[in-house]
Amino acid sequence: MSPESPLAAEAAVKTNPGRFFEDFRLGDVLVHATPRTLTVGDASLYTALTGSRFALHSSDDFARSLGYPKAPLDDLLVFHTVFGKTVPDVSLNAVANLGYAEGRFGAPIYPGDTVTATSEVIGLRETSDGKSGVVWVRTRGLNVHHELVLEYVRWVMVRKRAPGQVAVPEPTVPELSDAVPVERLLIPRGLRLQLYDRQLAGSPHLWDDYAVGEKIDHADGMTLEEAEHQIATRLYQNTAKVHFDQLVADAGCFGKRIVYGGHVISIARALSFNGLANAFRIVAIHGGRHTNPTFAGDTLFAWSEVLAKAELPGRPDLGVLRLLTRATKNRPAGDFPALGENGKPHPDVVLEFDYSVLMPRQA
Amino acid sequence: MSPESPLAAEAAVKTNPGRFFEDFRLGDVLVHATPRTLTVGDASLYTALTGSRFALHSSDDFARSLGYPKAPLDDLLVFHTVFGKTVPDVSLNAVANLGYAEGRFGAPIYPGDTVTATSEVIGLRETSDGKSGVVWVRTRGLNVHHELVLEYVRWVMVRKRAPGQVAVPEPTVPELSDAVPVERLLIPRGLRLQLYDRQLAGSPHLWDDYAVGEKIDHADGMTLEEAEHQIATRLYQNTAKVHFDQLVADAGCFGKRIVYGGHVISIARALSFNGLANAFRIVAIHGGRHTNPTFAGDTLFAWSEVLAKAELPGRPDLGVLRLLTRATKNRPAGDFPALGENGKPHPDVVLEFDYSVLMPRQA
Amino acid sequence: MSPESPLAAEAAVKTNPGRFFEDFRLGDVLVHATPRTLTVGDASLYTALTGSRFALHSSDDFARSLGYPKAPLDDLLVFHTVFGKTVPDVSLNAVANLGYAEGRFGAPIYPGDTVTATSEVIGLRETSDGKSGVVWVRTRGLNVHHELVLEYVRWVMVRKRAPGQVAVPEPTVPELSDAVPVERLLIPRGLRLQLYDRQLAGSPHLWDDYAVGEKIDHADGMTLEEAEHQIATRLYQNTAKVHFDQLVADAGCFGKRIVYGGHVISIARALSFNGLANAFRIVAIHGGRHTNPTFAGDTLFAWSEVLAKAELPGRPDLGVLRLLTRATKNRPAGDFPALGENGKPHPDVVLEFDYSVLMPRQA
C-alpha cells in the first residue's frame, strides 16, 4: 500500500457497496451469496412470526396424506429466502421496489433442502432525470438437484453512482405477462387429494364454492412490532438498511424503519387462512405492489377478491384460484377497500398481491 | 349467486366467525383444525421465549439417561399447542376464560411427533342476563398413534349470537374433581432414575427435601415485551384477537393487548427452575386462574407453595409434588403474596396455577 | 421443620442465591447445570436474531464442500451457550464482567450435539475495599465424546456475602497470554478448501488480500430491540438479571436493561460479513472488552482492524487473521473510532473484540 492510498480507501474495496445502475449489464447472471439450508427451525420461526395455520406446512402427517414426503416449507418463506439473497447484489442502492411479475413456484422445499439463487439482468432503462435507472431481473431459486424452486421477475429503481457521467445502455424493457398462464403452472409431483381432510384443514369450502368476483374479509387484525419484522427479515438474510437501521430511517422521509414488504405479504397470507384455509399451495405470483409503507405499531387486516378460476388439465380433483389479496393498515377490511378517490389505491391499503393458489375440488 | 345475496354476504360464509353460545350442543365433539408437527425448532423458540432450563427438555443425552429416546418437548409447549387449536372452535367469541380442571399429561411428545386435538362439549349454562353462556369442554390432544398426549377441562363464557331469541338447553354443569387423583396420573413408560444427575439438573434437592406447606421464592424477574408474547402465542397458532390486535385492545377496557395467559404460566414455570429444578415433568393441571391481566412491560416474578406430596405405587424412586405457583407482576414475590384484603386474590398476583410434578426421590 | 425455622427461611435453601466471593476456592471445578443439545432450531434463531450470513453456517452443502459433514453451528452461538451455563454458578452476584482471555474453539458443534460446561477457579483476589473480589475461571465446553469444544478464561468482580467478616485467601492472579499462539489453535479435522466457492461465500477477498493495519468499515447499522436481545439471551439460557428485569434496571445506574455483551459481539460479527465474508471460522478469542453499555434502541455499527496475519504449518491453503473488531453505537464507524481523549476508549465504542479467524488463501 502506497502512502497515496490510505487504508480507508483500501478498506472500501473489501466492503460491498452494492451495485449502482451503471454496474448492471444486460444478460449478466448474478450468482448470489450465502446458500441457505432451510430447516424445521425456519418453519417454526415462520409460524411464530406470521401465525400461519395452513395444515400442509404445519403437519408432516397431513402433508403425507397429500402425497408429500413430509411438510414442505411455506411457499412465501421460500420466496423471502430467495429474495433476501438478491438484495446485496441487486437492490442495496435501490430507491424503490417497483414490482413483481411472472412468479412461479416449482419443486417444494423440505426441511434440509438447500436453496441457491441467481438473477439475470433482463431490462435496463435510465430514468429521465439521469440520476437513477430501472433494473429488471429474473431471479431463480434452485435446490441442490438444480430443480427450479421459484422464479420471478422484479424491477427496482437503482441509484447511479455518478449521475450523467457514464454512457448508459440503450433502454431495454422486457415484455412481461399480466399473469402466468395456467399451462405454465408447476403442480407438485405426486400430489393427490383423495384423503384431503377439510376438518383438519380448517374449512369446508373447496374450489367449487368460490365465485369469480367474490370478496372475502379475513376478519382478524395483527399489530406488528419492530422486533418481529426485524427478526423475520434477518431470518431471510435480507440486508436492506431501511428495515434495520434507525439512523438511516431518521434521515429518510418517514423517520421510521420500514417493514419489509415480504413480511406484509406473509401476514396477509396468514390472515387469509380465515376464508381460504384450503388454498394449500401458492403456484404463481402475477404481480404485487406495496402501495403504502408499513411501520411497527401498524395493525394489518386483509381481504381477498377471486379474480379468476381455472381447471387443470387432467386434474378433476384440483383447481386454481387467482386471488387479489389486499392488506390494510389500522382499519378493518370488512368494507373491502380498494381504490381511493381519483382511482388511486386506497390510502389505507398497503399491499395489492395478485397470485394463484391450488385448492381441492369436490369429488 | 342471486342479486339478493350480495358478495359481501356470500363472503361471510367463508370467514369463520367462531361459535356463539347457541352453536354448542351437549355431547358435540369438535375436531380442531391444523394438526401440528412439533420440532426442535419449536423447542428452541420455547427456550428463547421463556428461558426454561429444565435439563430433560434441554438435552437429548440427559433425557436418554432417564430412559427417554431423546429430549421430549416441554409439557407446557404441548399444552399451549393443543389449547391454541381449540380457540377458533371454542373461544373466538369468549367473554372470559373461567378455569381449567382435570388436566393430565400422557404420552411425551418428541420432535417430529404430530399433535391433533378434539374437544367434547360437556356442559352448558346460560348466564342470568341471557346475553351469554358458560361452555365446558373436555379437550384431548392425541399423537399419530392415537395415544392420549394431554386432556383437560376448560370452561369459558361465550357470547350469544342473538340474546334472548333462541331456546337454550337445560343447564348442564359437569362435576369436576378438585384435583386429579394420584392413581389417574400417567407416568412416562420406561422412566428410570438411577442415573439422574442432580448437578446437571441444577439442584441437589429431591422430593424428600420438600415439605408440605413449604414456600419457595423463585427470585428472578422477567420483563415481558409485546413482540415476545405475540411470537409465543402465534407459535401455538392461537388466534385470540385480544393478544394481537391493538384496535380491538383500544376498544377494550385496558387499551392494551393482553398477554396470553399460557405465556404467563410458561414464564412462571421457567422462573420456578430456581427452587424446583428437579421437577422434571408436569403430570397434572388441577386448576388455574388468571387473577389479573398481564401486559407488555410488566415484570413477572413467581413463588410456589407445596400443597401436597404423594408417593407412587411401585415407584420408590419417584414422587409427586402438588404445587401452587403464583406469579406476581411488577413486584418481587419474596414475601409470598397470595390473598389481598377481603380474601380476594392479591392485586399484584396475576396467576394461580395448581399442578403436580414428578421429582426423583433419594435412593 | 421446627418453629424456629420458618418456611421462608427453609425456602431460601431451595433457591440458588448464586456464589459470593467467599464461596469460591482455588482449584474448585464447578459442573454447570443444564446440558444443551443444540439444533437447527437454534441455528435458525441465531440467524434471525443476528442476521449472520456466513455460508458455512447457512448451508449444509457449502459445509460439505469444505469437508464438514453438515453445517456446524456458529462459533459464537456455541460460545454464548457455554457462557450462559456458567452464569448461575459464577456471576449471579457479579458487579462487573472484567475480561476474557485465552479463548480457543475446538471440535465443531453440529445440530444434535450436546454441550456441557465446567469452570475451574484459577484466580482469586479481594478488592481493596473489602466488599468484593475478582474471580478468574477457566471454562471448558465439551461435547458428548468429551472433546474440547471451547475453552476460555473469564474474570469477574463478585460481591462478598459479608464484607470484612471472612478470612480471604491469599491473592492468586493467573498469568494469561496476550494472545493464543498460532501453534495452540485447533483446526477442524478434515477441513479442505479446494472447492471453496467465493461467489457463494460472498466475497472475492482471501487471506492474501488483507494487510496488517488495514481497516475495514462494515458499513451497515443494526438497531436493537428489547425483545431481540432478551430472546437471544434466553436462548443461551443466560440468567443474568440485568438483561431481563426492569425492576433491577430501575434500581441501577442506567434505568434500562443492559444488552448481554455477547449479543453485541454477535451483531458485530454478523455485520463484519460485509468486508470479511471469507472469515469462515473463529479459532481464538484473545480478549474482549465491553467499553460501554448497550441498550435497546441503540443502533450498532462495526469496523475491524487487521492486527496480524499468520500462516499455518502444513496448510498452504489456509491462513489466520487476527482482528480487532470494534462496535459503535448510534454512529457509523466509517471514520474508524478507537480511542477518545486521554487515550480512553472512544465514548461511542461499546465493544473491542480481539480474535482470530481462518480464511482461505489463494491457490
Mean pLDDT in residue range A230-259: 96
Chain B hits for C239, CB-CB cut-off 8 Å, are 51, 53, 220, 274
**Does the fold of domain A204-224+259-363 match that of domain A18-159?**
yes
At C282 the three-state DSSP class reads: strand
DSSP H or E segment with residue C220: none
The phi, psi pair for C325, rounded to 5°, reads -100, 125
**B209: nearest CA partner in chain C:** C14
In angstroms, the separation between the Cα of residue C7 and the nearest Cα of chain B is: 5
Average pLDDT (A59-75) is: 98
Cα–Cα distance for residue pair A140/C90, rounded to 1 Å: 51
Of residues A96 and A221, the one with the higher pLDDT is: A221
A246/C226 CB distance under 8 A: no
In 3D space, the residue among A84, A34, A57, A53 whose CA is nearest the CA of residue A235 turns out to be A84
| CB contact at 8 A, A5 and A13 | no
Q: In which band, very low, low, confident or very high, does the pLDDT at C164 lie, cut at 50, 70 and 90?
A: confident
**pLDDT single digits (tens) B259-278:** 999 999 999 999 999 999 99
Of residues C47, C220, C275, nearest to A239 (C-beta):
C220
CATH among 3.40.50.2000, 3.40.50.12280, 3.10.129.10, 3.30.470.20 for C18-159? 3.10.129.10
**Contact at CB, A16 and C226, closer than 8 angstroms:** no
Is the pLDDT at B229 greater than 80, yes or no? yes
Task: Supply angle C-alpha A247, A249, A251, rounded to 5.
Answer: 75
**Interface touch B35/A49, C-beta < 8 Å:** no
- Nearest residue on chain C to B72, judged by CA atoms? C37
pLDDT tens by residue, A274-331: 999 999 999 999 999 999 999 999 999 999 999 999 999 999 999 999 999 999 999 9
A44 CA: distance to closest CA in chain B (Å): 5
Q: What is the residue type of C334?
A: G
Give how far B259 is from chain C: nearest CA, Å. Answer: 14
Handedness of CA C345, C349, C353, C358 (dihedral sign): negative
User: Of A17, A230, A245, which has the smallest distance from its Cβ to C221's Cβ?
Assistant: A245
CATH of A204-224+259-363, one of 3.40.190.10, 3.20.20.70, 3.10.129.10, 3.30.450.40: 3.10.129.10
Closest-CA distance, A10 to chain B, in angstroms, reads 41
Give the CA radius of gyration of chain C.
21
Say whether B216 and C14 touch across the interface (CB within 8 A): yes
User: What band does B164 get if pLDDT is binned at 50, 70 and 90?
Assistant: confident
Residue of A nearest to C220 (CA): A241
**Residue of chain B nearest A41, judged by CA positions:** B41
The shortest C-alpha distance from B331 to chain C (Å) reads 8
Alpha-carbon span B348 to B331, nearest angstrom: 7
Inter-chain CB proximity C297 and A114 less than 8 Å: no
What's residue A166's pLDDT?
67
Contact between B275 and C14 using a beta-carbon 8 Å cutoff: yes
Average pLDDT of span A227-255: 96
Q: What is the pLDDT of residues C314-339, one digit of tens each?
A: 999 999 999 999 999 999 999 999 99
Q: Is A294 exposed, middle or buried (0-12, 13-18, 19+ CB in 10 A)?
A: buried
User: Does the structure show a pLDDT above 70 at C11?
Assistant: no
Q: Which of A1, A13, A15, A118 to mutate to test the interface with C (most CBs of C within 10 A)?
A: A15
Task: List pLDDT tens digits, range C338-352.
Answer: 998 888 889 999 999
Taking CB atoms and an 8 Å limit, are B58 and C44 in contact across chains? no
Q: Do A58 and B235 touch (CB under 8 A)?
A: no
From A16, A37, A45, residue closest to C48, measured CB to CB = A45
pLDDT tier at B95, thresholds 50, 70, 90: confident
Nearest CA in chain B to C32: B200
pLDDT at C41 over 80: yes
Instruction: Answer whether C214 sits within 8 Å of A10, measured CB to CB.
Output: yes
**Which one has a higher pLDDT value, A167 or B107?**
B107
A246–C297 C-beta distance less than 8 A:
yes
Contacts of C35 in chain B (CB under 8 A): 55, 58-59, 61-62, 200
Average pLDDT over residues C140-146: 96
Name the neighbours of B, counting chains with at least 3 Cβ pairs within 8 A.
A, C
Return the HEC string of chain A: CCCCCCHHHHHHHHCCCCCCHHHCCCCCEEECCCCEECCHHHHHHHHHHHCCCCHHHHCHHHHHHCCCCCCCCCHHHHHHHHHHHHHHHHCCCEEEEEEEEEEEECCCCCCCCEEEEEEEEEEEEECCCCCEEEEEEEEEEECCCCCEEEEEEEEEEEECCCCCCCCCCCCECCCCCCCCCHHHCCCCCCCCCCCCCHHHHCCCCCHHHCCCCCEEECCCCEECCHHHHHHHHHHCCCCCHHHCCHHHHHHCCCCCCCCCHHHHHHHHHHHCHHHHCCCCEEEEEEEEECCCCCCCCCEEEEEEEEEEEEEECCEEEEEEEEEEEEEEECCCCCCCCCECHHHCECCCEEEEEEEEEEEECCC
| CB contact (8 A) between residue C47 and residue A15 | no
Over residues A83-108, the mean pLDDT reads 94
CB-based contact B244 A199, cutoff 8 Å: no
Cβ-defined contact of C246 to B299 (cutoff 8 Å): yes
Whether the per-residue pLDDT at A164 is higher than 90: the answer is no
Neighbours of chain C (3+ CB pairs under 8 A): A, B
Q: What is residue A163's predicted lDDT score, i.e. its pLDDT?
A: 80
The percent of residues in chain B predicted with pLDDT above 90, rounded, is 88
Residue C42 and residue A42: Cβ atoms within 8 Å?
Answer: no
With an 8 Å Cβ cutoff, are A53 and B257 in contact? Answer: no
**ipTM of this model?**
0.95
By Cβ distance, the residue of C55, C228, C275 closest to A231 is C228
Best of B239, B243, B260 to substitute, by most chain A Cβ atoms within 10 angstroms, is B239
Q: B235 and A48 in contact by Cβ < 8 A?
A: yes
What the block records as the C-alpha cell of B121 is 362439549
Mean pLDDT to the nearest integer, C64-79: 98
Using a CB-CB cut-off of 8 Å, the residues of chain A touching B144 are 61
Contacts of A44 in chain B (CB under 8 A): 39, 41-42, 44-45, 235
Is B36 within 8 Å of A42 when comparing Cβ atoms? Answer: no
Per-residue pLDDT at A12 exceeds 60: no
CB contact under 8 A, B14 and A203: yes
> Looking at residues B184-201, what average pLDDT do you find?
96
Cβ-based contacts of B72 with chain C (< 8 Å): none
- Chain B positions in Cβ-Cβ contact with residue C248 (cut-off 8 Å): 221
Distance in angstroms (rounded) separating the CA atoms of residues A208 and A309: 9
pLDDT of C168 above 90: no
| Contact state of A43 with B41 under an 8 Å Cβ cutoff | yes
Chain A CB contacts of C58 below 8 Å: 34-37, 237
- What is the pairing mode between strands C132-142 and C148-159? antiparallel
Burial tier of C187 (Cβ tally within 10 Å: 0-12, 13-18, 19+): middle
Residue spans of the domains in chain A: they are 18-159, 204-224+259-363
Q: Please give the pLDDT value at position B162.
A: 85
Which of C53, C60, C62 is closest, CB to CB, to A237?
C53
Chain B residues touching A274 at Cβ < 8 A:
15-16, 239
User: Å from A88 to nearest chain C CA?
Assistant: 9
Q: Which residues of A touch C46 (CB under 8 A)?
A: none
Measure in Å the smallest separation between the Cα of B302 and chain C Cα atoms: 12
For A225, A260, C59, the CA distances from A350, given in Å and listed in that order, are 16, 12, 34
Query: B70, B44, B66: which is closest to B201 by C-alpha?
Result: B66
pLDDT for the residue numbered A96: 84
Q: Please judge whether B41 and C41 are an interchain contact, meaning their C-beta atoms are less than 8 angstroms apart.
A: yes
Q: Give the range among B335-344, C44-53, C218-227 with minimum mean pLDDT.
A: B335-344
Q: Per the CB < 8 Å rule, is B60 touching C237?
A: no
